[in-house]
């Protein structure tokens, strides 16, 4: 698994560097989407996550969820035009899952792209995403990712 300054970048996922999100191919043109380890470190301790309802269409670059931490409130943006198929109720009940388990239990939503072929073409694998994440971290002054005790990150 690639890592950058203690930030995990699992190689079984796809990434949208600009939005700092990861995607897991669930089959049937559905992707699970969440925040990267870099994003959860930048946000700090997440206290709230509000996800738009299933069945809602979201335009590329628009918010499909809002995340709030002690130092930040911001959108989780759709990497492509999509429909929310399912939202992670567990994250809405316990937003700290975004910090504790960003790549497993902390997924935010399952989405179905409006154009599956174009969506796949827009995503990067881990190796291709690393240079973009290195630049992102440099621009945002992130020297390393922080992990909570008992988190399921390496």
For the stretch 105-148, pLDDT in tens is 999 999 999 999 999 999 999 999 999 999 999 998 888 888 77
Q: What is the DSSP-derived secondary structure letter of residue 103?
A: T
Q: How far, in Å, CA of 57 to CA of 111, rounded?
A: 9
Model's pTM, two decimal places?
Answer: 0.93
Work out the pLDDT band at 154, boundaries 50, 70, 90.
low
147 found inside a domain: no
CA distances from 151 to 46, 102, 136 (A): 14, 9, 24
**Residue 122, domain CATH:** 2.40.50.100
Q: Which domain holds residue 24?
A: 3-139
Number of independent structural domains in the chain: 1
In-domain check, residue 154: no
The answer to whether residue 145 sits within a structural domain is: no
CB half-sphere exposure, 86, CA atoms < 13 A: 10
- More reliable by pLDDT, 151 or 25: 25
Are 80 and 114 within 8 A, CB to CB? yes
């Amino acid at each position: 698994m690639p890592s950058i300054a203690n930030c995990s970048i699992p190689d079984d996922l796809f990434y949208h560097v600009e939005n700092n999100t990861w995607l897991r191919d669930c089959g049937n043109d559905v992707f699970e989407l969440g925040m990267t380890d870099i994003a959860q470190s930048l946000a700090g301790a997440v206290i709230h996550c509000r996800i738009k309802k299933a069945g809602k269409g979201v335009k590329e670059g628009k918010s499909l969820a809002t995340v709030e931490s002690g130092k930040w409130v911001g959108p989780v943006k759709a990497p492509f035009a999509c429909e929310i198929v399912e939202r992670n109720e567990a994250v809405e009940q316990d937003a700290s899952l975004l910090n504790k388990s960003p790549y497993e239990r902390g997924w935010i939503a399952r989405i179905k792209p409006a154009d599956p072929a174009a969506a796949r073409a827009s995503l990067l694998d881990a190796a291709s995403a690393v240079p973009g994440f290195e630049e992102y971290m440099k621009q945002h002054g992130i020297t390393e990712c922080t992990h909570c005790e008992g988190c399921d990150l390496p």
